[in-house]
Amino acid sequence: MSTVKFYQATEQVPLEMHKVRVVQKLFLPPVEERVKHMNEAGNNTFLLQNKDVYMDMLTDSGVNAMSDNQVAAMMQADDSYAGSETCNRLVKVIREVFGTEYFLPAHQGRACENILAEAFVKPGDVVPMNFHFTTTKAHITRLGGSVVELVRPVGLEPKNNEPFKGNFDIDALKQVIRETGAEHIPFVRIEAGTNLIGGQPLSLENMLEVAAVCKQNGIMTVLDASLLQDNLYFIKTREEACKHMTIREITRTLCDQMDLIYFSSRKLGFARGGGIVSNNEKLILKMKEFIPLYEGFLTYGGMEVRSMEAIAVGLLETMDEEIIGQGPQFIEYLVKELDAYGVPMIMPAGGLGAHINATEFLQGMPHGEYPAGALAAALYIAGGIRGMERGTLSEQRDPDGTEHYAELELVRLACPRRVFTLSQMKYCADRVKWLYDNRQLIGGLKWVEEPAVLRFFFGRLAPIGDWQERLAAKFRQDFGDSL
Ligand code: F0G
């Protein structure tokens, strides 16, 4: 993908190595209606109706475009309960890609996390990880465990251009093991790349170092491979020592050192579903009984068989650098456009999507007025673009009820793979730039309904004051009768 040069390019333009053959019509409601829809949705982009959204950049989970070969494979699904050929085909691909003998199917990533936590986490346990993900932390704390984040400080510096900002602080890991005691650490979790800190990747070297430290201390290493496809691309393109390796070689070198690997196939493999894989039969046996209990029989684990066929093809396609390059390259295009304009972005461009630093975008807004939530609401009003708050609203309150402020207040503009065209990315950049120039109009949010668990999914908020009407009026003034 990156090898195609333009004769007249003034900028690096990502060129798609695919063509679009199935499309979905989109609608863009007028700005006044967008204000209305945002409020009906409690200023929570999770609660917007998709018919009212022009660019759905909420997530890249389960919404990536599938290939012709994936769709074709879905037609041959064998949905027999036991001994299913579909399951056999998927296991064969998993052995080939990850090099792992055993596979436990689960309906999605958080289902794997539930099973991992049930099998291994006890009250008082500590699970070190480079950074938490919302559902991961919820499952560990639900069982009385806690999470320690060991990303290096540089990982939380929005403008630092280091290539592998998701890396572990290895010395900090050793210290946590010394202080906690290996017996209270059921596993160390590697999230490659990191969801909540801007899709920043880890180097192969760092992940292997983590595994080596774990081995020395008799601790299990668990890889969350949900975001692995972008991370593989970054290892290949950014890590000097890996430039000569194929994506397959990088994958196997990494996976050979992991005790357990789990993934959400809503991301990895451009499909829907998930699973846990390993070469360690003993570990698998500790989790196996939970699959029929929570998920479904061992041949499908709650997944639809057609999805399993799509995962099998999608995992093989993930080994193709040209295929997995599309996401990072489109994200980089958007991030560079916005950064050049002065919009505070998480740098360098990572995986998953473009991430706006809301703290800096809305300088002066009190933390307690939820700048990232406010910016996500404003962006929907400005352009019918649905991003996701990844800041304080996505955190849980402390047990005593005090607000737990996030280290980074981000608005994530996820880039589902092969879904948007470059003109749509340009439109997105244009509306963010307009909003940046009008940022003094954006006000804060306050809670109306706050659920106790994973509040960002269902919580409802209201704008403080009439800033949304004033933002819409300024839009009319600047854009005339444009949608
Ligand atoms: N781990 C990581 C790193 C993830 O990004 C996700 C999901 C999960 C686990 C859970 O997987 O959704 O299949 O249950 N991330 C989605 C997102 C929800 O929008 O970023 P799941």
**Cβ 61 under 6 angstroms from ligand 1:** yes
**pTM of the predicted structure, to 2 decimals:** 0.96
pLDDT for 4 equals 83
| CA 222 to each of CA 94, 146, 147, 189, 278: distance values in angstroms, whole numbers, following the listed order | 17, 16, 14, 5, 10
pLDDT at 2: 54
Is the per-residue pLDDT at 116 higher than 80? Answer: yes
> What digits encode the pLDDT tens for the residues 26-51?
999 999 999 999 999 999 999 999 99
pLDDT in tens, 329-386: 999 999 999 999 999 999 999 999 999 999 999 999 999 999 999 999 999 999 999 9
Residue 174 annotated to the active site: no
Active site residue 405: no
Structure tokens at 342: 């002065």
**Ligand 1 contact, 227 CB (< 6 A):** yes
Q: Is 475 a catalytic residue?
A: no
pLDDT at 269: 97
Ligand 1 midpoint to CA 473 (Å): 37
- pLDDT at residue 172 tops 70: yes
Which of 81, 282, 398, 400 does the annotation list as catalytic?
81
The pLDDT > 70 percentage for the chain reads: 100
Q: Is 456 a catalytic residue?
A: yes
Q: Is the pLDDT of residue 59 over 70?
A: yes
pLDDT of residue 249: 98
pLDDT in tens, 454-474: 899 999 999 999 999 999 999
Q: What is the mean pLDDT of residues 268-297?
A: 98
Model pLDDT, residue 140: 97
Tell me what the pLDDT averaged over the chain comes to: 96
Residues 6+ apart with CB under 8 A from 228: 192, 251, 263, 268, 318
Q: What is the mean pLDDT of residues 232-254?
A: 98
Q: Is 390 a catalytic residue?
A: yes
Please work out whether the CB of residue 203 comes within 6 Å of at least one atom of ligand 1. Answer: no
Catalytic residue (one of 54, 131, 164, 456) = 456
What tokens does 125 get? 């346990």
Does ligand 1 have an atom closer than 6 angstroms to the CB of 266?
A: yes
- Consecutive H or E run containing 128: strand 126-129
Rounded Cα–Cα distance for residues 120 and 472 (Å): 51
Q: Which atom of ligand 1 is nearest to the CA of 111?
A: 14
Cis peptide before 348, with omega less than 30 degrees from 0?
Answer: yes
What pLDDT is recorded for position 1? 47
- Which ligand 1 atom minimizes the distance to the CA of 59? 19
